[in-house]
Amino acid sequence: MTLETAVYLIPVTLGDTCIEQVLPSHNRDVVMGIKHFIVENVRSARRFLKKVEQSIDIDTLTFYELNQHTDRKFIEHYLDPIAKGQPVGIISEAGCPAIADPGADVVAIAQRKHIKVVPLVGPSSIILSVMASGFNGQSFAFHGYLPIDEDKKTARIRQLESRMYAEDQTQLFIETPYRNGKMMQTLLSTLRPQTRICLAANITCADEKIVTYTVAEWRKRIPQGASDDIVAREIPRVPAIFLIYK
**184 contributes a contact to its own copies by CB under 8 A:** no
Strands 62-65 and 209-214: unpaired
**67 contributes a contact to its own copies by CB under 8 A:** no
**131 contributes a contact to its own copies by CB under 8 A:** yes
* Residue among 119, 190, 226, 230 that touches its own copies (CB under 8 A): 119
Part of the chain binding its own copies (CB under 8 A), chosen from 66-74, 200-208, 222-230, 231-239: 200-208
**132 contributes a contact to its own copies by CB under 8 A:** yes
Nearest residue (CB) to its own copies, 45 versus 98: 98
**111 contributes a contact to its own copies by CB under 8 A:** yes
Nearest residue (CB) to its own copies, 206 versus 225: 206
Among the listed residues 2, 239, 5, the one whose alpha carbon sits nearest the alpha carbon of residue 125: 239
Show Cβ contacts of residue 18 under 8 Å, excluding neighbours closer than 6 positions: none
Part of the chain binding its own copies (CB under 8 A), chosen from 41-49, 72-80, 120-128, 228-236: 120-128
**93 contributes a contact to its own copies by CB under 8 A:** no
Among the listed residues 191, 202, 215, the one whose alpha carbon sits nearest the alpha carbon of residue 241: 202
Nearest residue (CB) to its own copies, 159 versus 189: 159
Part of the chain binding its own copies (CB under 8 A), chosen from 55-63, 138-146, 148-156, 229-237: 138-146
Among the listed residues 165, 228, 225, 226, the one whose alpha carbon sits nearest the alpha carbon of residue 191: 165
Taking the complex as a whole, the smallest distance from the CB of residue 139 to its own copies amounts, in Å, to 5
* CB atoms inside a 10 Å sphere around CB 162: 11
- Give CA–CA dist 111/89, Å, rounded: 15
- Give CA–CA dist 10/32, Å, rounded: 12
- Give CA–CA dist 171/162, Å, rounded: 10
Angle at 228 between CA 225 and CA 232, to 5 degrees: 120
Taking the complex as a whole, the smallest distance from the CB of residue 178 to its own copies amounts, in Å, to 20
Nearest residue (CB) to its own copies, 211 versus 230: 211
